[in-house]
Structure 1
Amino acid sequence: MTLVHDNLEPLEAKIRTRDVDVYYGEKQAIDSVSIDIPTEYVTAFIGPSGCGKSTFLRSLNRMNDTIPSARVEGCIELDGEDIYRTKMDVVQLRARVGMVFQKPNPFPKSIYENIAYGPRIHGLAESKSDLDEIVERSLQRAGLWNEVKDRLGESGTALSGGQQQRLCIARAIAVDPEVILMDEPCSALDPIATARVEELIADLTGRYAIVIVTHSMQQAARVSQRTAFFHLGKMVEYGRTSDIFTNPLEERTKDYITGRYG
């Protein structure tokens, strides 16, 4: 049973999940998670290591499909449409629900090609000038344009770690997604690069539905307006970030926030 704070204003759900269970073979990793994720706010998933937050995040764009033993039950809807129905185009789904991973993973291609690849395969650009525009706009939004505009032909892997992560965010933005999932996007970055990515998340807030898994409670407090606390595969509590951190309703949430376990 999830405790949901009753002072949340009703917002339209971009992603709605009901009674979602995720299994790896016989092992249940997620137990009956129901949540509404709006576009207006950044939603953070927090909780101790191994509590299921990344597994649940990956179920939101069917990344768990890549693991043979994984099975997802329950209902996950994007704009009211069940993403696990048999006719769902998974490639199209992942364009609409982009993902940024823990470790920056630019393609071993030029900076330009890292951004242009997605729009090209999804037919979002009719001409080279369209593509140039998408590349520039995506890099601008990711706060990277001024740093790389004179070196677009260089390999994306030659950038610093923080720049690579912003390149990956620019790559996700380039296909015009509706949702961006971020799985501990700063855990491999230094504090300065982390601050740049957090500024970027703030800039993107409200433009996309953003969900971030983070092991840093300070980061959740800085970047999100809604927080869900996970423990042992269950979503224990969900509410405004400020309330979760200052006035948690559940003893387990309070214990985690105050550092009794983690």
Structure 2
Amino acid sequence: MADQTQVGAPSAENVESAKVKMRARDVSVYYGNKKAIDEVSVDVFSEYVTAFIGPSGCGKSTFLRALNRMNDTIPSARVEGTIELDGEDIYSSGMDVVQLRARVGMVFQKPNPFPKSIYDNVAYGPKIHGLAEGKTELDAIVEKSLTRAGLWEEVKDRLQDSGTALSGGQQQRLCIARAIAVDPEVILMDEPCSALDPIATARIEELIDDLRGRYAIVIVTHSMQQAARVSQRTAFFHLGHLVEYGHTSDIFTNPKQQRTQDYITGRYG
């Protein structure tokens, strides 16, 4: 599988000056005896939004969950290879998984606000991680997070209302606010717009663009148009393999692999 490593590990001359935030090498994920991911190597850069695309069941969400050890919650799951965050192996025995998931936050496909107030949804993480010394500091974190998530102006007068009473698009932005409230370094988004209408989707895409540069962002999407709009790097997965990884413009206009070309042009998927 040496060719897969070459595909996923950009050479020094084509990464420009971008900083590698997460580095995955030869990562395989198993569910019992079934291999869902086969020796995938990818670099995630601080300055970029990275999109994972590919047909349903190709392994892109499985690989995304490996980046913050969400697969640990599945008893049959096993991960091989190495994934590093700032050079530290996230699967090492000394890694605090709770702290890892604060540093590498996750926004899921379906909005999942806690059955709490809007305020408490955002304040929950900073409270349990001890990021605020008092209510004034906590208030500031909540306001800043909701502002960055593009939601503050819509909810500032009803912070005690239930988060579940918001619209779907607002709930997803609340979940993004909740993720960034603990000051993460990476945000993983697993098809964050798939349950939303086009207007709410556009708001989330604008938000992703606003957040780029503050956080390394990785998004799994079924929409090639969305990947083209929001990302700077794109990885194409097929049948558990990483077929091609590079600058988004190159993947969509000048792919190196025939399988990528076939998927982009709609011959399968």
TM bucket by the smaller chain? over 0.9
Give 1:153's aligned residue: 160
Structural RMSD (CA): 0.9
- In structure 1, what is the Cα distance between the partners aligned to 2:108 and 2:26? 25
Give 1:230's aligned residue: 237
> Please, what TM-score do these two structures have when normalized by structure 1?
0.98
- In structure 1, what is the Cα distance between the partners aligned to 2:58 and 2:96? 29
Q: Report Cα offsets for 1:87-123 as digits up to 9, x if no partner.
A: 2110000000000000000000000000000000000
Give 2:55's aligned residue: 48
Within the alignment, does 1:170 sit opposite 2:163 as a pair? no
> Please, what TM-score do these two structures have when normalized by structure 2?
0.96
Q: What stretches of structure 2 of length at least 5 have no aligned partner?
A: none
Q: 1:74-153 alignment to 2 at 5 Å?
A: 74-153=81-160
**1:119 aligned partner, one-letter code:** P
- In structure 1, what is the Cα distance between the partners aligned to 2:264 and 2:184? 32
Whether the 8 Å CA contact 2:54–2:236 is kept in 1: the answer is yes
Q: 1:60-75 alignment to 2 at 5 Å?
A: 60-75=67-82
- In structure 1, what is the Cα distance between the partners aligned to 2:32 and 2:41? 22
Give 2:257's aligned residue: 250
CA drift at 1:10: 4.7
Identity, in percent, stands at 82
Q: 1:179-190 alignment to 2 at 5 Å?
A: 179-190=186-197
**2:182 aligned partner, one-letter code:** V
Whether the 8 Å CA contact 2:19–2:47 is kept in 1: the answer is no
- In structure 2, what is the Cα distance between the partners aligned to 1:108 and 1:151? 15
CA drift at 1:9: 1.9
Within the alignment, does 1:211 sit opposite 2:210 as a pair? no
